[in-house]
Amino acid sequence: MKMFFLILGMSLVTYLGRLLPVLFFSQKNNRPRVEKFLRLIPYSAMTALVFPGVLSVDSDFVAIGVVGALTALILSWYGMSITVVVIGAILVNMLMYAM
Amino acid sequence: MSSREQYLLGVKAAFPVILGVLPVSIAFAVLSEHSGLNAMETILMSVMVFAGASQIMALGMFVTGAGLLPIIIATFILNFRHVIMGACVMNRMQTTPMWKKVILCFGVTDESFAIFTTMEEKNSTASYFAGLISVTYGTWVLGTILGCAAAQFLPPLVSRSLGIALSAMFIGLVIPNVRKNLQLGFLVIVTALLNIAFGQVMPASWAIISATLLGAFLGIFFVEESSEEAA
């Protein structure tokens, strides 16, 4: 029962964060700077989600995150699809753990 | 384009994300098993919360004996970035009725936000988003069920290697755009440095939110968009 309340609480606060912009950001925004800000957010957000967190993806084996991220970086730089990028990074990490 | 076609376009756009999401959902289920949750609780959490990083964090706090309230507050803080992401997503749905947005916003995640907001603006409609999140949500729940079933059989070599999937996917989404516009690369470096700096003085989840906001704000002044990239 305790676990159910934990899950319920987590789901309510998570949904609240998703609902807030629906309630407060629904009017058309014509200010070009605000528009540009919102267009740049995806890139800054994804950067912040990856770095430096990726370095501690395995805190006992720092090279896992470094080499995994570098693999993804190189593959995507050379125009590979996201599918190849993800599988490539996983395979390289598997090899590292196997060695 | 009919809304049905837009929906299917969204479904198709989500296919690469399956590969980013599935390993994480399996990893979550395996971890959950090890943390002492039963399969029912594990699946219920994925169905109701649908936010991978916070679910994995909750397990970590749970095994160290944290109470309900601290875990719920930490969940709120970690997922607060959805407010910013949701603002970007909802900015592209101004003609969509409120009741639809109240439902669709449940599907705002790092992945759906990343795909939707890096799409050309004319293609990113509410129906497209619905198609996108049908696949991400379905994958998240199915992956959790798979993970529960496979928890005993999956070799640790495999389950540990899945940890990189999400980061690899974000890198794969950002880099092609950086190649087209190197000033975006500068934005990436500035944001990463900000995130490290903020991380010294505040919890990581707040550092991520602060670095995201300040990075994009500074970007207004140094990133020049051509009409093509602005799309």
Residues B1-24: pLDDT tens digits? 789 999 999 999 998 888 888 888
> Within 10 A of A56 (CB to CB), how many other CB atoms are there?
12
Q: What is this model's ipTM?
A: 0.85
Chain centre to alpha carbon of residue B43: 18
In a domain, B176, yes or no: no
> Within 10 A of B187 (CB to CB), how many other CB atoms are there?
23
Domain check: are B55 and B87 in the same one?
A: yes
Q: How many angstroms separate the CA atoms of B221 and A37, rounded?
A: 10
Domain check: are B138 and B40 in the same one?
A: yes
Domain check: are B25 and B114 in the same one?
A: yes
Global pTM value: 0.77
Domain check: are B117 and B141 in the same one?
A: yes
Q: For A45, which of B84, B217, B225 is closest by C-beta distance?
A: B84
Q: How many angstroms separate the CA atoms of B185 and A61, rounded?
A: 28
Last residue of a domain, one of B169, B203, B219: B169
**Which two three-digit tokens encode residue B157?**
């070599």
Domain check: are B29 and B115 in the same one?
A: yes
Q: How many angstroms separate the CA atoms of B52 and B60, rounded?
A: 13
Q: How many angstroms separate the CA atoms of B90 and B111, rounded?
A: 15
In a domain, B175, yes or no: no
Work out the end-to-end distance of chain B between its first and last CA atoms, rounded to an integer number of angstroms: 18
Q: Per-domain residue ranges for chain A?
A: 2-98
Work out the end-to-end distance of chain A between its first and last CA atoms, rounded to an integer number of angstroms: 44
Best of A22, A64, A71 to disrupt the B interface (most B CBs within 10 Å) is A22
In a domain, B50, yes or no: yes
Q: What band does B226 get if pLDDT is binned at 50, 70 and 90?
A: low
Chain A hits for B68, Cβ within 8 Å: 2, 5-6, 9
Number of domains observed in the structure of chain B: 2
In a domain, B45, yes or no: yes
Residue B228 CA: distances (Å) to CA of B120, B173, B181, B221: 9, 17, 10, 19
Select the more confidently predicted residue: B38 or A42.
B38
Domain check: are B149 and B194 in the same one?
A: no
**Of B25, B18, B19, B34, residue with least CA distance to B55:** B25
Residue numbers of the domain that contains B102: 3-169
* Closest CA–CA distance from residue B58 to any residue of chain A (Å): 9
Is the pLDDT at B80 greater than 90? The verdict is: no
The string of DSSP codes covering B184-200 is: HHHHHHHHHHHHHHHHH
